[in-house]
Amino acid sequence: MTMIRKGVIPAAGLGTRFLPATKSMPKEMLPIIDKPLIQFVIEEAINSGIGDIIIITGKGKRAIEDYFDTSPELENHLIRTKKYELLRAVQDIASLADIHYIRQKEPKGLGDAVLKAEKHIGDEPFAVLLGDDIIMSSATPCTKQLMDLFERYGHSIIAVEEVPNEKISDYGIIKGRETEHSVYRLEEIIEKPSLEEAPSTIGTVGRYIFTPEIFNCIKETPPGKGNEVQLTDAIRMLMEREEVYAYAFKGKRYDAGNKVGYIEAILDFALERADLREAILSYLQHKDNY
Ligand code: UTP
């Protein structure tokens, strides 16, 4: 069984839901307090044992490359001002992983973005992690949970969770036959269905393990919803060629690609931090007095 060694992080989208902030700043660099979204995802990949990371970038995404690069001027300043803790934080970022960048010239869809990684991935299974989704797990990171299942099943596997009715039409919705607790053999997957069309209330979230056959499927997938090459459509094709599984992962997911999910993430993370918790709680308790 081939081990998962490589991870793809698509980050070439336009981030229109966060305009105007994302006009000149990548959505993936929006901070959860003092750490950009994409760093959470990279840390999840590394904590899952993935050391080779491919970020798919596009126009206006230079800030991502700069962020994961060394920054001698800033480091010298932090040394001069004896801010050693911050210095370590800044240096750690540059040494996080072996990061490669591939450009998607136009944002033609998530499927197209993943296809850009084909040459770097070659003929081996790999992980895909979307920067919009931040997933906190108490013990095993979500990607590692999928990798462990991949080791047993040897087939592509996608993370899913229960979705409330009013949000069904924002998700890829699956139908599956449960093969063991929380694991489903995929039988159908539909991108952003209406409530009536939806085959269940189980939706995909942004973590996947794919066999390399997904690349052939993407190549044969015509543009779908929004005139974009949808990864969901390619997964449906993959499902017709080989077994694909879905796993209701353990953990809490924040959909940081939309405003409410983003704010929830900031609040929860602040309340988890010893340096912020008291001040934020006090603010929330007293804010109606203003
Ligand atoms: P989204 O659709 O959530 O991101 O794609 P978006 O298009 O940037 O955001 P909105 O909807 O306009 O607000 C999920 C992930 O896939 C990447 C995005 O960067 C995001 O991380 N993506 C999407 C690409 O890399 N290329 C694309 O063509 C589309």
| Residues 118-127: tens digit of each pLDDT | 999 999 999 9
- pLDDT digit string (tens) for 192-225? 999 999 999 999 999 999 999 999 999 999 998 8
**Is the pLDDT reported for residue 96 higher than 80?**
no
- Integer distance in angstroms from the first to the last C-alpha of the chain? 61
CA atoms within 13 A on the CB side of 244: 27
Residue 60, domain member (yes or no): yes
Count up the domains in the chain and report the number.
1
Instruction: Give the per-residue pLDDT at 69.
Output: 82
60 lines ligand 1 (CB under 6 A): no
Instruction: Report the alpha-carbon distance of residue 65 to residue 63 in Å, rounded.
Output: 6
Instruction: Give me the CATH number covering residue 40.
Output: 3.90.550.10
Going by pLDDT thresholds of 50, 70 and 90, the confidence category of residue 131 is confident
Which residue, judged by its Cα, is nearest atom 25 of ligand 1? 12
Structural domain includes residue 262:
no
Whether residue 80 has pLDDT greater than 90:
yes
Please indicate, yes or no, if residue 266 is contained in any of the structural domains: no
DSSP string of 186-252, one letter each residue: EEEEEES--TTT-S-SEEEEEEEEE-THHHHHHHHPPP-GGGS--HHHHHHHHHHHS-EEEEE-SSE
Give the mean pLDDT of the chain.
93
Asked if 211 and 118 count as a contact pair (C-beta separation under 8 A), the reply is: no
Residue 273, pLDDT score: 94
Amino acid code (one letter) for 92: D
Segment (H or E) for 248: strand 244-248
Q: Does ligand 1 lie within 6 Å of residue 176's CB atom?
A: no
State whether the beta carbon of 115 lies less than 6 angstroms from ligand 1: no
CA–CA separation, 60 and 31 (whole Å): 17
- Is-contact 142 207, C-beta < 8 A? yes
Residue of higher predicted confidence among 89 and 200: 200
From the CA of 110, how far away is ligand 1's center (Å)? 6
Q: How far is the CA of 38 from the centre of ligand 1 (A)?
A: 13
Whether 133 is in a domain gets the answer yes
Residue 290 in this model has a pLDDT that exceeds 80? no
Give the bridge partners for 186, in sequence order. 176
Residue 200 forms part of a structural domain = yes
pLDDT attached to residue 130: 96
Is there a domain that residue 244 lies in? yes
User: Which of 14, 19, 221, 260 gets mutated to test ligand 1 (max ligand atoms within 8 A of its CB)?
Assistant: 14
How far is the centre of ligand 1, averaged over its atoms, from the C-alpha of 124 (Å)? 24
Model confidence at 184: pLDDT above 60: yes
Q: Place 226 in a pLDDT band, splitting at 50, 70 and 90.
A: confident
Residue 288 lies in a domain: no
Say yes or no: CB of residue 107 within 6 Å of ligand 1: yes
Q: What's the token pair of residue 287? A: 């804010």
Is residue 111, in this structure, part of any structural domain at all? Answer: yes
> Domain range spanning residue 180?
6-257
Work out the pLDDT band at 132, boundaries 50, 70, 90.
Answer: confident
**Is 14 near ligand 1, meaning CB less than 6 Å away?**
yes
Atom of ligand 1 nearest to the CA of 27: 8
Cross-strand bridge partners of residue 127: 7, 209
